[in-house]
Chain A
Amino acid sequence: MQAFQYASPTTVQEALDHLSSTWGEVDVLAGGTDLLSLMKERIHTPNKVVGLRGIKELRGISKSGNNLRIGATVTVQELADNSQIQKQYPALAQAAAGIHSPQMRSMGTVAGDLLQRPRCWYFRRGMGLLAKSDGKSLIPTGENRYHAILGNKGPAYFVNASSLAPALVALGAKVKVVSKSGSREVEIEKLYRAPAGDSERELDLKPDELVTEILIPASGARSATYEVRERQLLDWPLTTASVVLEMSGNTVKSARVVMGHVAPMPWRSSQAEQALAGKTVSEDVAMAAGKAAVAAATPLSQNKYKVQLASVAVKRAVLAAAGRA
């Protein structure tokens, strides 16, 4: 880890004073579970680290108008323990529960999970987010077993690593982003992007902006998240699916289907959503939705299996959301 200055503001405004308009100069430290590893690998070498621990306004889960407001530094444990989330947003509670390690849950924050850098092992080994050698990406013919099967026309092939984002996208959540010039709300669905070049990040954020809260609209929909992991507990998911079903009796009025760990961003599948609309959920309907979700998949040399896993994850999440699992 390269030496840095450390600031510990107590208000969002103070925190903003510390941020820089240039990526890389300042990093924001919440739970630290991702950032400190990146810094130890010297992938991030900030001159200054701004700790958010002291900012009370970034904490807490509360009702805010029609939304549930989750402070940026709410921990994964607090999220998983929240009875309202368990009751109203099972897809989110299940996604939080999927982060099994208690240490990770007590340290990791909701915003930290959303904003973590990709786990791509080329990136983590210092070969760059786009992992290029001689101007060409190493990934399409390299060790891509964990890489993208959708949205992978290049130059980005990594997958979004967030555990919570698929559920939050499925639930239609937004983040509130604050900077010195004001604040804006961004749908989490639009928070991520595939960088086109080395000068871009994988987030629609500016370096002097701070995510302060997550807002989830009230909902009476049924929802579920299903993760496929190699190891039973302590592992990154190979694929995730979060499904939200607006029901009318036994019929799906409308659905939102989002897959995780399959693309550089949480991948919403309108094909799968259409396959569910107007249907009564059955094994066959769920399977059709799963197939539709990956119909456009373009696997790389080693990750065809993830197409199957994503399809199965969607199927199982649909069945779980419908109470049929």
Chain B
Amino acid sequence: MPNFDWPAKEDRSLISTRINRLDGPMKVRGTAKYSYDRNLEGMLYGMLVTSPHPHARITKIDTSAAEKVNGFRGAVLINDVGAELQWTGQEILAVAADTEEHARDAVAAVKIDYEVLPHFVKEEDVTKAGNYVTPADEKLEGEPDAAFSAADTVTHEGYYGCATINHCCLEPHGQVVDWKGDEITVYASTQAVGRIGADLAKNLSTDPAMGQVSPSNVVILTPVMGGGFGAKFAIDTWGIACAKLSKQTGRPVKLMLEREEEQLMAGARPSFYGNIKAAAKKDGTLTGYQSETWSTGGPSPRGAPPLPYVFDKEAYKTRHINIATHTGPSRAWRAPNHPQAAVLTMCALTDLAAKLEMDPVSFFKKNLGLTARPEVYSAQIDKAAELIDWKGKFHKPGENGSGYTRRGVGLSIHTWGGRPHDSQCRVTIEPDGKVAATLGSQDLGPGLRTVVGIVLAETMGLPLSQVTVNIGDSRYPPSGASGGSTSTGGVSSSTRRGAVLALDELKGVVAADLGVAAEELEAKDGTIRVKANPSKSLSWSEACRKLGSKTISQLGEQPMRDGGKLADQGVGGVQMADVSVDIETGIVKINKMVAVQDIGLVINLKTAESQVYGALIMGICWALWEERVYDEVTGQMLNPDMEFYKLAGIGDIGELVVHMDTYTYDDRGVIGLGEPPAVSPGAAISNAVFNALGVRVPVVPMTPDKVLAALEKKGGMA
């Protein structure tokens, strides 16, 4: 029976160390070919015509002028006359032309008439939402009313919220489609190489002009892609339209969204606002939580926030309503609904701690029994407090600083699942010594390609440079979509199993030569050797030559019966922030942030840390500036750009410290990391601002207008 277990700590030479990503050189040299970079022979440029109105019905479409535009080659409809459009930027049709400039000309020449319908785009003031409201979710646990009215209880009530933000992937959504004969090749910027081909085939087959398209005739290629964050799971209307344009014109067609389109329609994280009530006994024991929350995910609802968040064993009642708006629809955004839930819980609890005159660290620690993993959080809070010097920096809210600067610290804790997704990995060993892992997964940026390489090389006892990793091709053995922190667990498990099976086969071939049973062999330092007598060995290439003309090919799978447990789910993390606030201008500056994270077994510490740094920086963006701004009267988004849709620059991040609980939780196996560290930054920064000012800035992003308004409410500058 093969032993798939991860090597013990002392036997690892690659796993859990810091390793440069395999695709680093091609990315820094500009030679990595993204979908947007594909220039195929005879390729046309596709572009969308989109709705200029937040809510309207199409009454007439006239493409006659567009067809006369120089370079025009084709057009396909996405929404026809009669369709009711629900947001500005909704797709209506796509055109193709010989150059990008001519495609723009053709778009401009399409004439569409609309019946403009009433719109609703701003949901923060729930009293204005009228019949756009639908009840979504109610929960009751224990007797919260009794908790709130109990004697010796301190109760806090407050309003908190998070604005809607966008994914703003730097490589926009889109693809190049090359439809030749029966074969459709799609160079797609996607998080789901294994899924979107079937989606495309199904959608094309509903159009008689396209004929029956078999999923097996669609090839998806994504060797690299420029960011997804949860927004790129579907083929999308533009993918289907691009394929149709390719069929119609007989040419490859590139259709990538414009930045404005990307911001208007290709991904948003729902807002969440709410009135929160929390109660604790005077000794700090949390007893009750109540939330009345609302949110918009665009035209369709996007689920209720997981409230109360992490501290969820007290008595509570929650009620959530959805508000439909004529805004670009939401898509999964790193840890869907958790970041907002953290703001709505951790900020309220910090305010309750202040009312109790307790340090929030003490208050959080006292109540860890109400969470799913008290020991993990307790150790993490201590570690984070040490790294940020909480003892030295914490003070009574609003009472620290001099002149016009106030400084404060805040914390938040979070959780996520991160179970491994299904994955198959083909591992091959060739007679000339070549080793490869081949799987239909994709690397969005966390370093998945390198993770696979590390697992493969570690298993074979080879240096990383001696193994090949093939990903990003739908013809490879299928792997799940990359979402919900499921990929690293999934692909490392399938790769490990495939590698162990392949290695065992190789051991069987060379065992006789080394005069021992296959079980007595190990692969180490580029050799196959006898465990008990390492000097008795074959070099890797000698061993492989024994294969003769045979190539070993084994399929590793996740999940796999009798495959052992290589991956797990369910993690905790703690983040702390240290900020300075200029109380004259309301400008918040990040001094330092600390993230302490449990992710089980870390495969590559270097890229794992990068992912946490990235989560912190994304959090700084939405804590301080980032939001979609809509005009109420026109229903237009005013900042579908990168100028007033404000993301952090390199000067905005302060000092960032990441501490992985490396080795502490290794025995659990691998757990995904994309989501958990993206949850807490907003709440931690908001709490730090509260600690600095002694007054809550209730809604993130905490722009200067909101900071100064909060200070004014408190009675002017602190």
Contact = CB atoms under 8 A, between A and B. Distances in A.
A and B touch in the complex (CB under 8 A): yes
Interface of A: 1-3, 42, 100, 119, 121-122, 124-125, 127, 133, 138, 142-143, 145-146, 228-236, 238, 302-305, 308-309, 312
B652 A125 contact: no
A233 B652 contact: yes
A230 B587 contact: yes
A231 B652 contact: yes
A142 B708 CA distance: 20
B704 A122 contact: no
Interface stretch (B90-98, B239-247, B633-641): B633-641
A136 B101 CA distance: 35
22 contacts: A1-B101, A2-B105, A121-B639, A124-B641, A125-B638, A142-B632, A143-B630, A143-B631, A143-B638, A146-B644, A228-B585, A229-B587, A231-B649, A235-B646, A302-B705, A304-B705, A305-B586, A305-B705, A308-B585, A308-B708, A309-B586, A312-B585
A143 B587 contact: no
Nearest to A311: B584
B651 A234 contact: yes
Contacts of B650: 233
Contact of A42 (B108, B585, B630, B708): B108
B529 interface: no
Nearest to B589: A232
B705 A133 contact: no
Contact of A121 (B101, B586, B587, B638): B638
B631 A122 contact: yes
Interface in B690-717: 703-705, 708-709
A312 B404 CA distance: 11
B648 interface: yes
* Contact count band on B: 20 to 34
Contact of A142 (B104, B585, B631, B705): B631
Contacts of B586: 305, 308-309
B335 interface: no
A226 to B, nearest CB: 10
B649 A303 contact: no
A232 B649 contact: yes
A122 B629 CA distance: 11
Contacts of B108: 2, 42
Interface in B556-604: 584-587, 589
A127 B634 contact: yes
B649 A230 contact: no
B624 interface: yes
A305 B704 contact: yes
Given A231-B646, A312-B585, 8 more contacts: A143-B629, A145-B703, A230-B587, A230-B646, A233-B650, A234-B651, A235-B646, A305-B705
Contacts of B632: 142
Interface in B110-132: none
A1 B258 CA distance: 13
B634 A138 contact: yes
B105 A308 contact: no
Contacts of A121: 629, 638-639, 644
A133 B634 contact: yes
Contacts of A146: 644
A230 B624 contact: yes
Contacts of B101: 1, 3
A232 B705 contact: no
Contacts of A1: 101, 104
Contacts of A3: 101, 105
A138 B631 contact: yes
Contacts, number: 82
Nearest to A230: B625
Nearest to B717: A308
Contacts of B584: 308, 312
Interface in B640-677: 641, 643-644, 646, 648-652
Contacts of A42: 108
Contacts of A100: 651
Nearest to A306: B705
Contacts of B703: 145, 230
Contacts of B630: 143
Given A127-B634, A133-B633, A145 B705 contact: yes
Going nearest first, the 5 A-B pairs with the smallest beta carbon separation are A233-B651, A305-B705, A121-B638, A232-B651, A234-B649
A100 B650 CA distance: 12
Contacts of B638: 121-122, 125, 143
Given A121-B639, A234-B651, A312-B584, A303 B644 contact: no
A225 to B, nearest CB: 15
Given A231-B646, A232-B589, A309 B631 contact: no
Contact of B708 (A133, A230, A305): A305
Contacts of A133: 633-634
Contacts of A303: 705
Contacts of A138: 631, 633-634
A158 B580 CA distance: 31
A234 to B, nearest CB: 4
Contacts of B633: 133, 138, 142
A235 B631 CA distance: 22
B565 to A, nearest CB: 46
B625 A231 contact: yes
A312 B632 CA distance: 31
Nearest to A42: B108
Nearest to A40: B104
A231 B704 contact: no
A274 B592 CA distance: 43
Q: Which of A229, A230, A308 has the most chain B CB within a 10 Å cutoff? A: A230
A236 B639 CA distance: 14
A309 B625 contact: no
Nearest to A101: B649
Nearest to B629: A143
A146 B638 CA distance: 12
A232 B641 CA distance: 19
Q: Which of B584, B632, B649 has the most chain A CB within a 10 Å cutoff? A: B584
Given A230-B624, A231-B648, A309 B636 contact: no
Contacts of A235: 646
Contacts of A143: 629-631, 638
Nearest to A139: B631
Contacts of A228: 585, 587, 704
Interface in B389-430: none
Contacts of B644: 121, 146
A309 B585 contact: yes
Nearest to A134: B633
Interface string B13-24: 000000000000
A125 to B, nearest CB: 6
Contacts of B651: 100, 231-234
A2 B101 CA distance: 8
A315 to B, nearest CB: 8
Nearest to A232: B651
A133 to B, nearest CB: 6
A232 B585 contact: no
A121 B638 CA distance: 6
B189 to A, nearest CB: 22
Contacts of A125: 636, 638
A303 B706 CA distance: 10
